[in-house]
Amino acid sequence: MATVYVNNEPVTIGDSERLNCIQAAARLNEEIPHYCWHPQLSVVASCRMCLVEVGDKKPDGTIAMQPKLVPGCQTPVKDGTVIITNSPKVKDAQKATLEYLLLNHPLDCPVCDQAGECGLQDYSYGYGRGYSRLQEPKNIKPDKDYIGDQITLFTDRCIMCTRCVRFTREISGTAEMQVTSRGTHEEIDIFPGIPCNNKLAGNVVDICPVGALCSKDFLYQQRVWFLQNTKSVCPGCSTGCSITVDQNKDVVHRLKPRVNPQAQGHFMCDEGRFGWKYIHSDKRLQMPELRQKGTLASRDWDVILPAVRKALDDRVSSQPHAVAAIISPWATVEEAYLLCSYLKKMSEHVSLAIGPTRTVGEDDHYPKDVRGNADGNPKFTIRAEKAPNRAGVERVLQHFQGDVVPYADVLSAIQSGAIDTVYLVGGDPEATWNDSDLAAFKSLKLLIVQDLLASPLTQAAQIVLAGTSFAEKDGTFVNHSGLAQAVRRSIHGPDDARPDGRILWDLAERRGLFNANNLRKEIGQTIPSLAALSCGDLGEFGVSTAAQPEPVAAT
């Protein structure tokens, strides 16, 4: 164990840990301001914001300080390292660096998207001089709206930390971005005619510590201080990136990745980042619907739920073998559990099937080399399996039924007439149903569809239950590696749509209200393969349902 002293406070660091001064100080909640350093990118030590004084504490207790300031990002700590982050010398250097960074910065915070979450604002307030002594005109550099389909560059706001350049070289491997010119005339740019449109491109906006790189999608939509952030999980693929959902007044404005070393790390892909627009789609189911005299008509929940219960009761009591539930891998663990336990309580013979798992291409690994091939050591993966919770739904089905009926099997059973009643829980915003499938579903005696978007399938149903998207419900997703993470409600859905968990809770006539934390405890105690859920609240990083859960280390 190594002991490092940050402003005379000791902090112990494990033997296998290789930390720099910034990380060591963070252990004591001492902030060393920094711009160019990013834990996932190479160290360039060029912004010079993280200058600190360091020294060595000898065994006899004397301290030998280095005469010069050193960049904290570049300086590894070892046993006896002494870090001073608040001496007058350090503060002067921080003031000087900030004054330099702001020399040619336009200070257009009132019209800048980054205002409110800006590294320059925060550090200027915390460490800056408060005024500039520049009397001369500032450099003016042209804005570049051509950086990428989703990215625009306000060139004069840039502080040349080169995080974006390093990201495209080291994480995406696509190397679209570069530095042009020299000295104070330096600019970030792309190579002519090759815009930054790789599938991870949106991350350069996140890692930009200032308002230089902005997302065209979010540009001028909201002042960030109006946004409320909810920690959630991206439903875009089975990687299950930890995200925050940023909303204001029940409108989602953006998703941002959230650091989770157990899930994806620091980043997320553009598919997920911009793939939430269906939440506010006008195809959303607004109310539950019941088919009467051949046409679907909106009905109140108080009418619908008894109707569902009665219809299911009738079918199960007469022909339990002909009843099936198809639970989509977009459903949460809680929803699968509620529906399965409800149906299996009615009859052992009801079959439980998993819905179609949409797979697109192959797993997409980054970084890529110039030919587009991934190298052997992927730093980020976009998975081909676009469903966020196949692992979770399968575990629930296995518990209740021993094995999982594949979608193809249940479909052929429908086509053969062996199954004539289906309760289908959807959730895939991009689900497509081909004609033969639809014909099969149309042939059913009873089709109950619980989904969030109107589709040919809902048109074919006898009962349609208006569910909600991931941003509007609480639940659990289990990703490809068995990490269970909490999806948390961020906004309210349409007025008469209900969170799927609540629909199923009420359908099963359970007492009280649907509460994901409490239900998770119940699931954890009931299903051995999901025993890790018994903690209830899954916290920020989620818990692993794999055999040996790994400890979570905050960075």
Partner 1 sequence: MAQFEPTLLARIHKPDSPALASYRADGGYEALKKALGMAPVDVINEVKNSGLRGRGGAGFPCGLKWTFLPKDHPGPIYLAVNADESEPATFNNRILMEKDPHQLLEGIAIACHAIKSNSAYIYVRYEYGRSYRAMQAAIDECYANGILGKSVLGSDFSLDIRLHRGAAAYICGEETGLIESLEGKRAWPRIKPPFPAIEGLFRKPTIVNNVETLCCVKQILQRGGDWFKSMGVPPDPNNPRDAGSYGPKLYCISGHVNNPCCVELPMGITARQLIEEHGGGVWKGRQAKAVVPGGISMGFMSASELDTPLDFNGPGKVGCLGLGTAAVTVIDDQTSMVDVLFNCARFFAHESCGQCTPCREGTAWMHKILNRVRAGHGELRDLDLLVEVASSMGIIPGTTICGLSDGAAWPIKNAIKKFRSEFEDYIKSGRKSVDPIPAGAH
Residues interacting with partner 1, by CB under 8 A?
43-49, 51, 68-71, 74, 92-93, 96-97, 100-101, 103-104, 133-136, 139, 159-160, 179, 181-186
Residue type, 436: S
CB of residue 380 to partner 1, shortest distance in Å: 24
| Encoded tokens for 67 | 């005469």
> Are 453 and 486 spatial neighbours (Cβ–Cβ below 8 Å)?
no
CB of residue 100 to partner 1, shortest distance in Å: 4
Residue type, 515: N
Diameter over CA atoms, the chain: 92
CB of residue 137 to partner 1, shortest distance in Å: 8
Of residues 165 and 457, the one with the C-beta less far from partner 1: 165
Of residues 96 and 531, the one with the C-beta less far from partner 1: 96
| Encoded tokens for 280 | 């506010």
Q: What are the DSSP calls for 246-305, one per residue?
A: EEETTEEEEEEE--BTTTTBS---HHHHTTTGGGG-TTB--S-EEEETTEEEE--HHHHH
CB of residue 70 to partner 1, shortest distance in Å: 6
Of residues 187 and 270, the one with the C-beta less far from partner 1: 187
CB of residue 74 to partner 1, shortest distance in Å: 5
> Are 144 and 157 spatial neighbours (Cβ–Cβ below 8 Å)?
no
> Are 162 and 46 spatial neighbours (Cβ–Cβ below 8 Å)?
yes
| Encoded tokens for 94 | 């921080």
- Please list the residues that pair with 244 across neighbouring strands: 231, 256
Of residues 160 and 384, the one with the C-beta less far from partner 1: 160
CB of residue 276 to partner 1, shortest distance in Å: 37
User: Could you tell me the CA-to-CA distances from 294 to 346, 461, 463, 485 in Å, in that order?
Assistant: 28, 10, 11, 42
CB of residue 86 to partner 1, shortest distance in Å: 17
Of residues 158 and 487, the one with the C-beta less far from partner 1: 158
Of residues 166 and 383, the one with the C-beta less far from partner 1: 166
What is residue 487's three-state secondary structure?
strand
CB of residue 8 to partner 1, shortest distance in Å: 21
How far is the C-alpha of 531 from the C-alpha of 484, rounded, in Å?
A: 11
541 contact partners, CB below 8 Å, separation of at least 6: 242, 260, 261, 262, 263, 485, 552
| Encoded tokens for 498 | 């209900």
Among 529, 243, 541, CA closest to 391: 529
Of residues 141 and 315, the one with the C-beta less far from partner 1: 141
| Encoded tokens for 242 | 């930890």
How far is the C-alpha of 393 from the C-alpha of 223, rounded, in Å?
A: 38
Q: 136-156: buried (b, 16+ CB within 10 Å) or exposed (e) per residue?
A: eeeeebeebeebbebbbbbbb
CB of residue 24 to partner 1, shortest distance in Å: 19
CB of residue 139 to partner 1, shortest distance in Å: 8
